[in-house]
Amino acid sequence: MTLLRLGVLASGSGSNLQAILDACAAKAIPAQVAVVIANLPDAGALERGRAAGVPAVLVPHQGVPREQYDALLVDQLRRNQVELVCLAGFMRLLSPVFLQAFQNNILNIHPSLLPAFPGLHAVRQALAAGVRVSGCTVHVVDEGTDTGPVLVQAAVPVLDDDDEDTLSARILAQEHRCYPRAIGLWAEGRYSIEGRRVRVRGAAGDPARTLAAPELSG
Ligand code: GAR
């Protein structure tokens, strides 16, 4: 079977990258990570990529104009014949140079139930707003910030004694379920985008796109 070639971009520890690598290794999704790219030298994602035998490339952003930087990213992704770009904690906005190069073939994960709490510090925003349920979203990237069509979401309850760390940790655990699932749907090509809605064909379609943390299903 041909495996979908993924390029994973990260700035941090890379736990979502790890979930994707694990799902690929377990053959749970018909995909392989072709390259890992980080913009920060101490991003744990680079080490995780190397440990899995995947090319891991540091592309530092300091002092590089945004469009020039994005062209460097595109070059690395093309060199590795990437078909689907997965932003996994990549804390940079992408310019039209990047978006046009991989139009409709870029996914992002965000730690809130979008369209609530886009942008930075989503978990802090959710706590400050006093919501009882938050979660995470995998969406197709468009030109806005965290605005693209939603592919998979998971709901996570906010507990009375939650702080940013405890809620982030429970949301992250759900992110690790959502990202491989979204990539699997994408790889199988059973989706279509109609305006802001993503439709998935087949029996495993819609139920597989809406997850709940165990605390919510009791
Ligand atoms: C994740 O919580 C992801 O949702 C978030 O960064 C974290 C990366 O964790 N992304 C954003 O906030 C993007 N706006 P990881 O490095 O362990 O995968």
What is the predicted pLDDT for the residue at 205? 55
Of 81 and 210, the one with more pLDDT = 81
What is the predicted pLDDT for the residue at 175? 98
User: Domain spanning 109-218: which CATH class is it, in words?
Assistant: alpha beta
Given 61, 110, 121, 139, the catalytic residue:
110
Amino acid code (one letter) for 217: S
Of 33 and 192, the one with more pLDDT = 33
Residue whose CA is at the smallest distance from ligand 1 atom 9: 89
Mean pLDDT of the residues in the chain: 95
Is 145 a residue whose pLDDT tops 90? yes
Amino acid code (one letter) for 103: Q
Read off the tokens for 200.
């998935």
Termini Cα distance of the chain: 39
Q: How far is the CA of 15 from the centre of ligand 1 (A)?
A: 8
Is 73 a residue whose pLDDT tops 90? yes
Amino acid code (one letter) for 61: H
Portions of the chain given CATH number 3.40.50.170: 1-103, 109-218
Residue 147 Cα to chain centre, angstroms: 13
Pick the CATH number of 1-103 from 3.40.50.170, 3.40.50.300, 3.30.420.40, 3.40.50.2000: 3.40.50.170
Q: How far is the CA of 110 from the centre of ligand 1 (A)?
A: 6
* pTM, 2 dp: 0.96
Categorize the per-residue pLDDT at 213 as very low, low, confident or very high, splitting at 50, 70 and 90. Answer: confident
Residue whose CA is at the smallest distance from ligand 1 atom 17: 15
DSSP 88: S
What is the predicted pLDDT for the residue at 11? 98
Is 147 a residue whose pLDDT tops 80? yes
* Tens digits of residue pLDDT in 85-94: 999 999 999 9
Is 218 a residue whose pLDDT tops 70? no
What is the predicted pLDDT for the residue at 204? 56
